[in-house]
Amino acid sequence: MTLLETIKTPADLRALPVERLDEVAADIRAAIIDQVGRTGGHLAPNLGVVELTIALHYVFDFAHDRLLFDVGHQCYPHKLLTGRLPLLDKLRTREGMAGFPEPLESEYDLFRVGHAGTGISTAVGMARGDTLTGEAFHPNANPDGRRVVTLVGDASIVNGVAMEGLNNAGTLKRQMLVILNDNGMSISKPQGAVSQYFDRVRVSHTYSDFKKGAKELLQRVPGGGVLKEAYHRAGEMTKALITEDSWFSKFGLVCAGPIDGHHIPTLIEFFAEARDMDRPIVLHVKTVKGKGLDVAEQDATRFHSPKAFAVERDEMLGCRIEMSSGGRSFTAAFGDALTAMMERDEKVVCATAAMPDGTGTTAALERFPDRAFDTGICESHAMDMLAGMAKCGLKPFFAVYSTFLQRAFDQAFQEVALQGLPVRLCLDRAGLVGGDGAVHHGFCDVSLLRTLPEAVITAAIDEPSLLAALEFMNGWDEGLSAVRYPRDSVSERFTADCPAFELGKARLLTPEFTDLDANAPDAAVLAFGTPAIHAAAAADALASEYRVSVYDARFAKPVDEDLIRDLVSRGIPVLTIEDHSVVGGFGSAVLEACSAMGLDASGVRVLGIPDGWVLQDSRADQLAETGLDAAGIARALRHLVGASAKGTRPAAAPHQEPKPTTERVEASSPSKEI
């Protein structure tokens, strides 16, 4: 039995002597490397915070105190120390451990969090909340009160919300510890002036420098009176580590460090002092992303969130990585298409927000450094920047995950759509995303963007249609446009012929039913995006029972009103399908079109992601769970056609509903209520 296996709660960790904590760290790394190697998951960011997490749980009691994560994918060590080792072998599945903080697993997790920049603000909120309820720690008035800690990492400190949080943290008059896990990386190389500042700090300071001049510094920096008082209250290590002319001091915050985030005794000593401070402190911790696995340290971007992999070591050939691979991905197809478009058209520019590998823009950034930009974790800035470039007559493309588009919706509204500017949104990870679960599903981009007047929203079903959509968008200068595509491999079913996109026109995928008068189908499917592939498979499976025409809808705004009028007026049952919420999505657009045209929509059935949270699992299992795989679509079609034959309004087709999110494998819970 490993030492880690004996730790059921952090209390077991605190019972160990400090000398044995490195052994715990080794066990945690081994467990994470083994599991992620078998199933995939977030590897490098978790390997980098092992010692830091151990020290935090050794000093603080997070069954009582508050621990908030910013960038939730660095939570694996925290989970293994809070009783969830038995869930690790089913990582990122419904039955196992989620890849992000998940309150349904354990009361040690306070928020579901997968978007960067939020941790400081939620920590300020809990600090204020505990103060108002009389539960806040105070060294004299309430020494048993709750302390607040937030762990910030992977360059999320540059996010605008993080800045807002820091601005308000400086006004607190109570304990709060902000830990900046500075690994010199975001998901890829960090961008911007702030990251350059931290680079300078890492190379220009040594630990012996910090104490020198600290008292003089406190006299001259903004907020110096507060900092001076905090300095006198601090222990010797905190005094020694106060940073001269810190960027954080401009917010009225005490800043200490940088210190070695892999030296457990130093971390414990500092945390023991900072725990009893009555002022907010920022601790700058230097860590190595991927620590403990040499290939991850050398290529932290590749091993940020790898698929399953094996490391083979050979004395002659050195280290070789075998990483599992599927077919060609939509991301790769987009990246190649974007680069080719930029070669042909010098007006095309692109941006990503800290996701060059994830969005397929790495090649464009390398080949066109003057026309391709990585803004860091700053989606709002990226959208506004591209609006400015569009105003100058350029053709901007924003490659962004659907879930992160939400962070820039206000800019899409105010600076893009309202101005009528042609910014082109390329929405990767649209729909159900698999193991990352609810924090990353792209389930509301259509419903958001459909509210914007004159916006155009498309979807790709395969690589040829993605290329055709991008060509359409490149020539569309009337305003905001978007194309969505999933985290999946491209299908090769309909690659023979792909006509160009025509605004608001669908494409028939089953030409045997072109003459609706002489050979009317029993039902028609209007599929938005890749569900068209599953719909075609369902139609094939039902061929001996029903004739089903399948359309690639192509547009959610504007929808193909001529086609909808033709089908509905002929009494042909219609099933709309989308890898998007049923609330406000493509199906809603079809029903709204029916209403506007005065059509009876009783024969229209909407199939999409139900109005509930879909937890982590494989994408295939999530599609089956929500009835969006071929089998689920076939069930829906049988129900639709059967109801139509009886002359009744089709009810909701029976399919496997999402499991209630309260059904979880139980892990150890803290002894105190949070």
497: CB partners within 8 A, 6+ apart: none
DSSP string, 609-623: E-SS---SS-HHHHH
Please state, in angstroms and rounded to a whole number, the distance separating the CA atoms of residues 253 and 100.
Answer: 29
Q: Residue 607: in which H helix or E strand, if any?
A: strand 604-609
SS3 507: strand
CA angle 316, 319, 320 (to 5 degrees): 105
Pairing of β 507-508 and β 523-528: unpaired
Rounded to a whole number, what is the distance in angstroms from the first to the last CA of the chain?
31
Pairing of strands 280-286, 254-260: parallel
Closest CA to 341 of 475, 501, 461: 475
Residue 504 and residue 558 in contact, taking contact as beta carbons nearer than 8 Å: yes
Alpha helices in 236-283 (DSSP H): 236-241, 264-274
* Contact between residue 653 and residue 607 where contact means Cβ atoms under 8 Å apart: yes
Catalytic residue IDs: 289, 379, 407
Q: Tell me, rounded to whole angstroms, the distance of Cα 568 from its chain centroid.
A: 39
Angle at 487 between CA 664 and CA 359, to 5 degrees: 125
Token digits for 581?
């919420």
- Using alpha carbons, list the distances in angstroms from residue 236 to 224, 242, 256, 261: 19, 10, 12, 19
Question: How many residues are given for the chain?
Answer: 674
Distance of CA 634 to the CA centre of its chain: 31
For residue 374, give Cα distances in angstroms to 145, 386, 395, 451, 608: 43, 12, 16, 28, 33
Tokens 């800035």 belong to residue: 381
Which among 60, 206, 217, 33 is positioned nearest to 145, based on CA atoms? 60
Q: Nearest 10 degrees: CA dihedral of 497, 500, 503, 509?
A: 0
CA atoms within 13 A on the CB side of 412: 27
User: What is the DSSP secondary-structure string of 612-666?
Assistant: S---SS-HHHHHHHTT-SHHHHHHHHHHHHHHHHTT----PPP--PPPPTT----
User: Given strand 148-153, what is the order of strands in its sheet?
Assistant: 66-70, 148-153, 176-182, 280-286, 254-260
State how beta strands 456-459 and 148-153 pair: unpaired
Question: Per the structure block, which two tokens stand in for 196?
Answer: 């350059």
CA separation for the pair 575, 577 (Å, rounded):
6
The 3-class secondary structure across 316-362, one letter per residue, is: CCEEEEEECCCCCEHHHHHHHHHHHHHHHCCCEEEEECCCHHHHCCH
**Coil, helix or strand at residue 551:** strand
